Amino acid sequence: MGDLIWAAEPAQLLPARSQMAFTLMFHIILVPMGVALPAIMLIANYKGLRHGDSVALTLARRWSHAAGLTFAVGAVSGTVLSFEMGLLWPGLTRKYGDVFGLPFAIEGVAFFLEAILVAVYIYGWQRLRGWTHFWLGVPIPFVALVGAFSIISANAWMNTPEGFTVDSNGQLVDIDPIDAIFNKALPLEMAHFVLAAYMAAGFTVASIYVVGWLRGRRDRYHRLGILIPFTVAAIATPAQFAVGDSIARWLANNQPTKFAAMEVVTESGPDQPEILFGRYDEQTNTVSGGIRIPGLNSILTGGSRDTNVTGLDTVAPQDRPSNVDIVHWCFDIMVGIASLLVLLVAWFAIAYWRRRDVPRSKLFLWTASAAGALTYVAIEAGWIVTEVGRQPWIVYEVERTSDAVTQADGVWVSFTVVLVLYAVLAAGTVAVLRAMSRRWRRQDVADAAVPYGPRPAAPEPAEPGPR
């Protein structure tokens, strides 16, 4: 059945979806750094100024340089995405641009404002008074949230389209962009993503210093480099677990087909088991393999085994997500990683409460060093659940993705070009970050000199020698 459905789709659909998925998965790696790293650097900046802590100021300064680099690379990949929305999906932007286009304009303003503020903050080291410099940086995390809000709003609208009416001729009337922005999926989707961004940035930055700690660099610089970002991530993690549970229940009621794919519920009814992994057969609408926990899905969804859960049997095969296995496995991976991180955070909280220091256990340190990468895997998996789980709709139950895709040839060519360009961009970014790290290790003493002190004097010109 799946092969027949794909055969009936436009030839451009597969390369267009592949290109969009690749660029989104690349860009989303940079977004948490743009959203959350400025807040982490400002915490270190505040601690340095409040307590005269030169190590904290050194960390803040170095994190600001990393934030500037990832922001610049994210600007490039984000601009490509903006063009792709129009070029790959003209059926979406042409018909619904008046409804959901406003958030993209807001995102543009937020982007330019954040770029200016980041540039001023980085330039201000050794040029501004300490507290003046700090307060000029304070707006950055809030402007970053405005940018995230605008993009998440547009995506949430695609899941719960509001702010328009379709008349008898199929035309959009009564368009209200404000209703479209504040759609009912926005609050939970926004909270879910922002918490994920703070987890990813916190765990990733901390993991860099955990690796140094494991290699024997157990000084105060690495201790603070672990404790500040790890604490931020530790606060976000349990909140994320609660929000994730809420959003799953919300999906069960508002996007039951997506929820059925996430939990691979094939037949509607009560007493649904929780199935971990397994393999879905779209021909027979059954699941083979996996681990089954009787009744748990109904309990998690509605509090009892009597809770009725909608299954994939309620929709026609052509209206089911294009790949149920991908949606289900990504959901299980995301939840599994989140559960592991909750345990890691609980371990950290108990150990820090008892010793006021980084936990010494090798198992904790090895797990913490992998926490950043694991969080990114969870983010990618969650984004796949959101996007693939909504298929075959680009606007949920309003417009099919196949009706919005471009009719132009050459999408495979553009996808290949994007692959090559992004590979070069990724290699360049990693090379610059590694060069920055090596330079910082070589200049530990010099870089720890008062960041708000006078700039080093320019070398005196050499006296002219006798002619």
Q: What is the 3-state secondary structure (H, E, C) of 9-75?
A: CCCCHHHHHHHHHHHHHHHHHHHHHHHHHHHHHHHHHHHHHHHCCHHHHHHHHHHHHHHHHHHHHHH
Instruction: Give the global pTM.
Output: 0.90
- 378 and 430 share a domain? no
CB–CB of 117/7 below 8 Å? Answer: no
Parallel, antiparallel or unpaired: strands 399-400 and 165-166: unpaired
Check residue 8 and give its pLDDT.
Answer: 66
Q: What angle do CA 194, 197, 198 make, to 5 degrees?
A: 90
Q: Are residues 251 and 389 in the same domain?
A: yes
Give the residue among 238, 240, 259, 237 at the shortest CA–CA distance from 248. Answer: 259
Radius of gyration of the chain (CA): 25
Domain check: are 430 and 376 in the same one? no
Same domain, 349 and 250: yes
Q: Is there a domain that residue 225 lies in? A: no
Based on the fold, state whether residues 163 and 290 are members of the same structural domain. no
Residue pair 57/447 in contact (Cβ under 8 Å)? The answer is no
Residue segments in the chain with a per-residue pLDDT below the cut of 50: 445, 467
* In a shared domain, residues 144 and 60: yes
Alpha-carbon dihedral of residues 434, 438, 441, 443, nearest 10 degrees?
-120
On whether residue 121 sits in a domain, the answer given is yes
Output the CA torsion 333→338→343→348 (10° steps). Answer: 130
Q: Are 301 and 295 in contact (CB under 8 A)?
A: no
| Residue 433 domain-assigned (yes or no) | yes
- Backbone dihedral angles phi then psi of residue 36, each to the nearest 5 degrees: -110, -30
Specify the number of domains making up the chain.
Answer: 2
What was the pLDDT predicted at 55?
Answer: 93
Residues 396 and 442 in one domain: no
Boundary of a domain, candidates 356, 385, 408: 408
pLDDT at site 467 = 45
Looking at the fold, whether 345 and 420 belong to one and the same domain comes out as no
Q: Is residue 199 in some structural domain?
A: no
Domain encompassing residue 292? 233-408
CA distances 340 to 213, 254, 331, 367, Å, are 22, 28, 14, 9
pLDDT score, position 4: 52
Determine if the peptide bond prior to 461 is cis (ω within 30°).
Answer: no
> Is residue 177 located within the same domain as residue 268?
no
Q: For residue 41, tell me if it sits in a domain.
A: yes
Per the DSSP assignment, residues forming a β-bridge with 276 are 291
399 and 443 fall within a common domain: no
Which of 408, 431, 461 terminates a domain? The answer is 408
Residue 203 falls within a domain, yes or no?
no
Total Cβ atoms within 10 A of residue 438: 10
Sequence-ordered list of residues with C-beta below 8 angstroms from that of 379, at least 6 positions apart, any chain: 28, 32, 196, 200
Domain annotation covers residue 194: no
Is 316 a member of any domain? yes
- Domain check: are 141 and 258 in the same one? no
247 and 351 fall within a common domain: yes
pLDDT of residue 357: 86
pLDDT at residue 83, as a whole number: 87
